[in-house]
Chain A
C-alpha cells in the first residue's frame, strides 16, 4: 500500500499550506466531512489528523448511518429493565449485575469482510478482538461462541471460507483457553461473497472490579503494552468496512492482521493481575483504528486530554510513518491509564509476563489531544470531535419494490405440493435433517475446546451454552444467539423479533432466566435506501420486542456493506440473549435420557411454513410472511419452564424452531441416544393442521419437554393453571429407535448417520 505522505506534516505546516491537496477521498471521507474537519480545526488537518478522522469517522467506527436507529435501544426501556444494568450501550461491552456480587459482560462483534479475504486470520483476529473488549471491562473472559453464515455448500469457494474460518476460530479460541460453548452455522447462497463471521464473548467480574475506558486524572500516564506495532491492517477498518466488494472480488488487498493467541493469553493474565493490583485507572483495547481510537476515546470518555509522543511506540517495523502508526491494527495491544505512583507496580507485573510496554505520554486537564512525532506536533484536536462527535446521517429509506411480490408469493399462493402420504413425509423428514443447515454441526464444533476452565455446564449441541460463574454457589449464565435471514428478508421487523424470541426461548429452555440482550446487525449497503428500510424495521422490531419481554439491549455491533455489486445479503440481525441461573446443577438437558418419560408439546401449532426450512429444502422456495411472533406467549412459556424447572419436573426441554417438530424430535433422540414413540394425531386434531404442518411448521412459542411419570400430574396441572397449551405426544423408550406412529420408524444409528454425514461430506 502506498504511503500517505513521505515527510512529516506538522500542524505548523498545515497552517502555512492551507491549499495543499489531501487524499481525503481515497481515505473514504466525503467532501462535507473533510470540510467539517477544517471547520473543527480552523485549518486543514495534518496528514496524521486526516488519517485519524478518516478512520474514526468510517461507518465501522462511527456508526454514522445506524446511530439514529440504535438510540431506541436506550429509549424503549423501563426502569425495571435497566435496574440490573451496570454499564449500558456505548462502552466496549454492556455489564449486567447477576447477583451475589458478580457481574457479567457480553458482546457479539462482526469480522465479516476480513474473513472473506483471509478466512483463517480474519476469523482468528475476530475472536481476539471480542475477547479484548470483554477483558477491557475488568472481566475475566469465560467463554466464546460464534455465529457463522457461509455461501452455498456446493459452491467451490465455500469450502475455502469454511475451512479457514473454522480453523481460525479453533486455533485462536483453543489457544486462548476459552471454552467455545455454541453458535450457529448457516449456509445460503446470499452469503456467497459476503460470509458473516460474528464472534461473541462473555466475561465475569466482581462488581468492584469494573473498569472503564477513560482517562480523567491529569498527570496519569498513558501506557501502550502488549505486542509491538507493525504494518498490520493499515487502513483496514475504513477501507474494509466502508467499501463494497466488486463482483470480481475484493477491490483492494490491504495488509491483513495476523493474530497471536499466545500473546493474547499472556495479555489476559497480565491484565487481570494488573486489575487485581489496582494499578490501572482506565483501560482500552486496540482494535479497529488502533491508536487513533484508543487515545481519542480514552480522552473523550474522561472529558480530559492527552499529550502523546508517538516516537515512544515500540515498533516491529522501524520504517512505519507516524500516520501508519496511528492507523495500525496490530493485534494483542492494550492501552492503560496508570497513576504515576503506580508505575513501579505496573512495571513489575508486565515484566513478570515478559510483556513489552512503553509510556507514550500523560493525561492533561485541557480536553485536547496533542500528538508529537519527536519535536514536531502532528496532531492537535479536540478528542471528542474524533471519537464521539462524528457525522450522523439520516440516510434515505425506501420500501423495497420487490417486497410485496415476495410477501404475496406464499407457500399457499405458490401452490407448493404437500403430501399426506406417510412415505412422502418420512422422506421429507430425512431430507430436512440431512440438509446442510439442519444437519449435525459436530464436524465444526468438535474442533473447539468446550471443556477448558472446567465450568461448562451446557455446550453444543444443546439449545444454549451455559457456564458456571461462582464455584461456591453454582451461579451461572446461559447464552443463546439466533438470526434467521430468510424470515428477515420476508419481514425485517418481525424477523428481528423472531430472532429475539428464539434466543429467549433457548435460554429459558436451559432453565435460566433471560435478563439481557446483545446484537450484531449484519446488513447490506446503507447507501441503498431499501437496505436502510430493512435496517430501520429490524432495529424497531428488536427494540419493541425487548420492551415487550422486559429485557434490555446492553450493547451491540453493526456491520454494513455486506453486499456484492447490487446484491445485499438477507438482513441478518444476530440476537444474543443472556440468562442467569442460580445453580447450574439445575440446568435442563436438551435430549431424552431416561426411558418411560412422557413427552409433551407445549404451545399451539399453526400452518406456518412460509420461509420455513421445509419450503427451502423441499421446494427451494422463499416467500410469504414469517411465523407470527407472540412475545406474551413466549414470556408465559419461559415462566412456566422456570417454575417447572425449580420444582425439578423437567427431565429435558428442547425448543421448536427451524425444521419444526420433526427436527426437534430427531435432535432430542440423538442427544443421548434414547428412543421414543410419538403420535401426531392429537396435534392435527386439536390445532386443525395437516401432517406437513404438524411436522414442519415453525410456529413460535413452542417447546417439547420430557417429564418423569411420577411428575405428570403436577406438570400438567402447572401448565393448565398457567394457561399453557399442553399435549402429550409420546413416550421415551429404550427401543433404540424413533417411531412416529403411522409415519415411519428409524433406528437411532440410521438417524445419526443421516444427520451426521452431510457436513463432513462437503468439508471433511
Chain B
C-alpha cells in the first residue's frame, strides 16, 4: 500500500523529557557511548494509489498544520513510500 511517512521531532532547542529519561536509563545500564536521546513520532498516511504531487503537497501541509505543533515540534521529513 502506498504511504506517506511523516516524521515529527520535538524542536531541537526545547526540552525533551522523554528523551532525557530514556538517555538516563541507558546511562544506568552502562551505555556510556550514547550521549543523548530524542524521541519523536512517525506517522503513516495510507493511500489507495500512489499519491500525486498535489497529494504530497497536501500531506506536507497536513504535517505542518495538523500532525505537528509548530510551537514545539518540527516536521523532519515527509516521504512517499510505495
Contacts and interface: CB of A to CB of B under 8 A. Distances in A.
B15 A255 contact: no
B24 interface: yes
Contacts of B16: 258
A262 B16 CA distance: 12
Interface in B7-59: 10, 13-17, 20-21, 24
Nearest to B20: A260
B71 A316 contact: no
B14 A260 contact: no
Given A121-B71, A260-B20, 7 more contacts: A118-B69, A121-B72, A232-B14, A258-B14, A260-B17, A262-B21, A316-B15
A263 B13 contact: no
A500 B51 CA distance: 61
Interface string A104-124: 000000000000011001000
A230 B17 contact: no
B17 A118 contact: no
Categorize the interface residue count of chain B.
10 to 19
Interface in A430-446: none
Nearest to A233: B14
B17 A255 contact: no
A317 B20 CA distance: 13
A628 B13 CA distance: 53
A237 interface: no
A253 interface: yes
A258 B13 CA distance: 10
A230 B13 contact: yes
B69 A255 contact: no
B71 A117 contact: yes
Given A121-B72, A354-B24, A231 B17 contact: no
B14 A118 contact: no
Contact of A258 (B21, B24, B72): B72
A1 to B, nearest CB: 10
Contacts of A232: 14-15
Q: Size range of the interface on A? A: 20 to 34
Nearest to A118: B71
B70 to A, nearest CB: 8
Contacts of A258: 10, 14-17, 72
Nearest to A231: B13
A178 interface: no
Contacts, number: 40
Contacts of A317: 13
A258 B10 CA distance: 10
Given A260-B20, A262-B21, A354-B24, A330 B71 contact: no
6 contacts: A117-B71, A118-B71, A121-B71, A227-B15, A259-B17, A330-B15
A331 B72 contact: no
A255 B14 contact: yes
Nearest to A256: B71
Interface of A: 117-118, 121, 227, 230-232, 253, 255-260, 262-263, 316-317, 330-331, 354
A524 to B, nearest CB: 25
Contacts of A121: 71-72
A230 B72 contact: no
For the complex of A and B, 6 pairs with smallest distance between CB atoms: A260-B17, A231-B13, A258-B15, A118-B71, A258-B14, A256-B71
Nearest to A258: B15
A49 B47 CA distance: 56
A69 to B, nearest CB: 34
Contacts of A260: 15, 17, 20
B22 to A, nearest CB: 12
Contacts of B69: 118
Given A118-B69, A256-B72, A262 B17 contact: yes
A147 B10 CA distance: 29
Interface string B58-74: 00000000000101100
A14 B21 CA distance: 42
A330 B13 CA distance: 11
A260 B69 CA distance: 18
Contacts of A230: 13-15
B26 to A, nearest CB: 13
Nearest to A122: B71
A430 B13 CA distance: 51
B19 to A, nearest CB: 11
A118 B24 contact: no
A256 B72 CA distance: 7
A263 B21 CA distance: 9
A390 B58 CA distance: 52
Contacts of B72: 118, 121, 256, 258
B29 to A, nearest CB: 14
Contacts of A262: 17, 21
Nearest to B15: A258
Residue of B10, B69, B71 contacting most chain A CB atoms (<10 Å): B71
A260 B39 CA distance: 14
B74 to A, nearest CB: 13
A465 B15 CA distance: 33
Contacts of B10: 258
A260 B15 CA distance: 8
